[in-house]
Structure 1
Amino acid sequence: MFDPESETLDPVARLRGFIHDGGYASGGKLPPERHLSDELGLSRATLRKALDALERDGVIWRHVGKGTFVTDGTAPKGKTGAMVELGRQLTPFRMMRARLAIEPAIAREAAVNASGETLRKMQRAIDRAKAATTWNEYETQDDLFHRSVAEASDNLLLLTLFEQLNEVRRAVAWGSVTRETSHPSPDHSSFPEHDAIAAAIAGRDPHAAYEAMRKHLGSVARRLFGEV
């Protein structure tokens, strides 16, 4: 419940503490504003100012219609805002074309350089995506899967490029996505596609990894636009 006295405390620090104490990892979704306002004892206006500050600092990112998510916290101050602004100027089709140009090449590098830990992260995201009981849970794990592929490239520049690409993707206005079910079905096409990417990377096959990622993103683009 909103407590007027709490407004005198640093709302940004309190929100940071909530994220830290709550164990929200990169990609984790924060509760709705109404819940955060009650939990922190802040007015909605003060809470939104605190959220704005953390977004500018690269601690969180927000997507209209999806919610507020935690980043890895490594984005330089001001960088996230620039990426968000770029995303607002980009069409979903152009965004997918950019992913098709970049992510298959990252997957190819991952097949050469992946460590055991990044392979485990990849599989963990795959397993959790298949077990997701909501689309939001699935999308969080899908995001973590693609990030784990970038981590597996063992190339800081490629990982940074992926993170920037991902920030722009989150800001693109995708419009209203109609879901016919409450969660992905067991035969959701991305499941075997993710499996194929992970298998090619684990098998140290750069060409297969490139093609598997290209096929996956092409499949996503066709579902969205009917063509790529």
Structure 2
Amino acid sequence: MTTVEQSLRTLLAEGAEAGTWGPGSKLPTERDLVERLEAPRSAVRRALDALERDGVVVRHVGRGTFLTETAVRRVDGAPADTSPAEIMQVRLLLEPQVAALAARVATQVDLERIGECLAGGGAAAGFEAFESWDGRLHREIARAAHNGLLMNMFGVLDTARSLPVWGTLKRRTSTPELRRCYHEEHTAIVDALRDRDSRAAADAMRTHLEHVSDTLLGRH
């Protein structure tokens, strides 16, 4: 997830919590968002593209960009004071089992999308690009489980990961070597999914998330 996307998600969350925006609310124009986020218009557009893919906003040509009910549900489900430790606790409880389920029920199209995310992460040149592909990879694995309730729960996790404290900590601990390690761990997860090996997928996901947790929380 890029810094601009993270800032935009935070802006939307704050607006929803304050009651300023609700389902169907029209977002500020791109020009206004550029000024508010102090970011290039191209970066704002990419952030809006990501939010549209996630179902947080919907865009209508000539009318503008609007918040969806999904956005408000996600805001309601992720307290602003959620800590990185809490996020990792929930991820470790949820995502290994998600990977195990995905290994059983993922379609070939699902696996191709997951593979695209893996390749994107492997080719990423810096922190922001890698984080964007990282988030998409985990999201596509969750989608490959084909469970709507599970995706709602994963949406809460996505919201928590958009909180400023998470992004700051990820940036502070990120190094090229660490990103290479994470990519190798992602590769092990995807290999297990392709092999339809539920146990290996769960184990690989757990190993990866334990590494992420130890890195973020200083437990080496």
Give the shorter-chain TM-score range: 0.5 to 0.7
Considering only aligned residues, what root-mean-square deviation do their CA atoms show, in Å?
3.4
Residue in 2 that maps onto 1:81: 75
Q: Structure 1 residues 109, 185: CA separation in 2 closer, same or farther (over 3 Å shift)?
A: same
Residue in 2 that maps onto 1:58: 56
Residue in 1 that maps onto 2:130: 138
Q: Is the 8 A contact 1:58 1:79 kept in 2?
A: no
**From 161, 173, 178, the counterpart of 2:172:** 178
Q: Is the 8 A contact 2:100 2:201 kept in 1?
A: yes
Residue in 1 that maps onto 2:190: 198
* 1:140 to partner: Cα distance: 0.3
- Structure 2 counterparts to residues 80-99 of structure 1, below 5 A: 80-84=74-78, 86=79, 88-99=80-91
> How far apart, in 2, do the equivalents of 1:198 and 1:222 lie?
22
> How far apart, in 1, do the equivalents of 2:116 and 2:96 lie?
21
Structure 2: 5+ residue stretches without partners: 1-25, 46-51, 59-66
Structure 1: 5+ residue stretches without partners: 1-10, 20-30, 41-53, 61-72
**From 30, 38, 63, the counterpart of 1:33:** 38
* 1:227 to partner: Cα distance: 3.4
Indicate the SS of the match to 1:90: coil
Indicate the SS of the match to 1:178: helix
TM-score, normalised relative to structure 1: 0.65
Q: Deviation digits for residues 153-195 of structure 1, max 9, x if unmatched?
A: 11122122112211122226234533675xx349721111101
Matched, 1:114 2:119: no
Matched, 1:148 2:140: yes
> How far apart, in 1, do the equivalents of 2:152 and 2:198 lie?
21
Q: Is the 8 A contact 1:58 1:77 kept in 2?
A: yes
Q: Is the 8 A contact 1:193 1:216 kept in 2?
A: yes
Residue in 1 that maps onto 2:199: 207
> How far apart, in 2, do the equivalents of 1:172 and 1:83 lie?
16
Q: Is the 8 A contact 1:121 1:148 kept in 2?
A: yes
> How far apart, in 1, do the equivalents of 2:96 and 2:83 lie?
21
Matched, 1:127 2:119: yes
Q: Structure 1 residues 193, 76: CA separation in 2 closer, same or farther (over 3 Å shift)?
A: same
* 1:226 to partner: Cα distance: 3.5
Q: Is the 8 A contact 1:107 1:209 kept in 2?
A: yes
> How far apart, in 1, do the equivalents of 2:93 and 2:71 lie?
27
Which has more helix, going by share of residues?
Answer: 2
Report the structure number with the largest CA radius of gyration: 1
> How far apart, in 1, do the equivalents of 2:179 and 2:75 lie?
37
Amino acid at match of 1:33: E
Q: Is the 8 A contact 2:118 2:183 kept in 1?
A: yes
Residue in 1 that maps onto 2:152: 160
TM-score, normalised relative to structure 2: 0.67
Which sits farther off after the overlay, 187-196 or 170-179?
170-179
Aligned residues: 173
Q: Is the 8 A contact 1:150 1:159 kept in 2?
A: yes
